[in-house]
């Protein structure tokens, strides 16, 4: 992941004033992707938000005899 991508993971950044906002109240459980309009909490300007969910998987070897 690039530095630019990590700056916007799990936050919404206003494109006008760069204020950072949470997303928890804006996306319903189960939404995997979509878009919506919102107003910045600080500068009050409108902007569009596009989002995509990502999953990260890790694997480990099973240890014999621990079942």
Report percent pLDDT > 70 for the chain.
84
Q: Looking at the 3D structure of the chain, how many domains does it have?
A: 1
Decide if pLDDT at 21 tops 80: yes
With 60 as the cut, is the pLDDT of residue 4 above it? no
In a domain, 67, yes or no: no
- Mean pLDDT in the chain? 86
Q: Has residue 63 been placed in a domain?
A: no
pTM for the whole structure = 0.67
Of 54 and 6, the one with more pLDDT: 54
Residue by residue, DSSP assigns 2-51 as -HHHHTTTTSEE-TTT--EE--TTTS-TT--EEEEEEE-TTT--EEEEEE
Is 25 inside a domain boundary?
yes
The answer to whether residue 64 is domain-embedded is no
Judge whether 12 lies within some domain.
Answer: yes
pLDDT tens figures, 33-62: 999 999 999 999 999 999 998 888 999 999
Q: Which residues contact 20 (CB under 8 A, 6 or more apart)?
A: 11, 12, 13, 14
Domain membership of residue 29 (yes or no) is yes
Domain that holds residue 32: 3-52
DSSP letter at 56 equals -
């Amino acid at each position: 992941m690039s530095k630019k991508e990590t700056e916007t993971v799990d936050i919404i950044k206003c494109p006008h004033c760069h204020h950072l906002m949470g997303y928890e109240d804006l996306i319903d459980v189960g939404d995997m992707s979509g878009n919506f309009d919102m107003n910045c909490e600080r500068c009050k300007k409108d902007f569009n938000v596009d989002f995509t969910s990502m999953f990260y998987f890790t694997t480990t070897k099973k240890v014999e005899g621990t079942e």
